[in-house]
Structure 1
Amino acid sequence: LDYWKRRGIRGPPGILFLGNLYAMTDVNKPIGLVLRDWTKIYGKVYGIQEGLRRTLVVSDVEMIREFFTKKFECFYARKVSFPGICHEDG
């Protein structure tokens, strides 16, 4: 759970083995609202964990544009599970 912290990236605290999945599956709050709230707290770039999978959340349109145009070779094979979320493991 310290993966992002060791890299200087902020993010919500998680639970061992679940990461942030518990907070993301709140039946009273859609995932989009959870991510929006975290963006307000942690900024336009922050790290979460979906179970054991580490995910970098990027909410800055210009940064996303740069990732997929100027730095395409580094990001072209990233998985997208929710709009705006790419996994660090490809």
Structure 2
Amino acid sequence: MDVLGLTDYATTLALVAVLILTFYLFGRRNFSYFKELGLSGPKPVSHLGNLVQIKKLGFNNVFKYWREIYGDVYGIYFGVVPNCIVSDPEFVQEVLVKRFSNFVN
């Protein structure tokens, strides 16, 4: 019986370890999106993205701060969802007006 009890404990421990590792790796895999595109941006926190920094610095101030550091175009994460931030009005006009036909729905 002790062997069976130990086996159940070891199996449960292994299952919990695998679940924690999967949860961590799933959260980290999405955070390579902007690196692959060559965009810079603030380092995200696993599963929270940049929400911690936004809460800490304030919604209005954080984007001004990041623009000074990372430039007019950079990437951030709301949770695990990547978002491209564009601060240059001319670039926004280029994308939304002149190249509007390139975007569907």
Q: Of Structure 1 and Structure 2, which has the larger fraction of its residues in strand?
A: 1
For 1:39, the equivalent position in structure 2 comes to: 67
- Asked if residue 49 in structure 1 is aligned to residue 80 in structure 2, the reply is no
TM-score (norm 2): 0.66
Aligned pair in 2 of structure 1 residues 75, 40: CA closer, same or farther (>3 Å)?
Answer: farther
Q: How does 1:11-22 map to 2 (within 5 A)?
A: 11-22=41-52
Q: How does 1:1-90 map to 2 (within 5 A)?
A: 1-26=31-56, 29-75=57-103
Number of equivalences: 75
**Percentage of identical aligned residues:** 36
Aligned pair in 2 of structure 1 residues 23, 35: CA closer, same or farther (>3 Å)?
Answer: same
The Cα offsets for residues 28-52 of structure 1, whole Å up to 9 and x where unpaired, read as x321110100000000000000001
Say what the alpha-carbon RMSD is for the aligned residues. Answer: 1.5
Conserved 8 A contact 1:68-1:76: no
2-side partners of 1:74 and 1:44: how far apart?
22
Instruction: Give the gaps of 5 or more residues in structure 1.
Output: 78-90
TM-score (norm 1): 0.76
Instruction: Give the gaps of 5 or more residues in structure 2.
Output: 1-30
Structure showing greater Rg = 2
Q: Of Structure 1 and Structure 2, which has the larger fraction of its residues in helix?
A: 2
1-side partners of 2:82 and 2:88: how far apart?
19
2-side partners of 1:75 and 1:54: how far apart?
18
Displacement of 1:76: 7.1
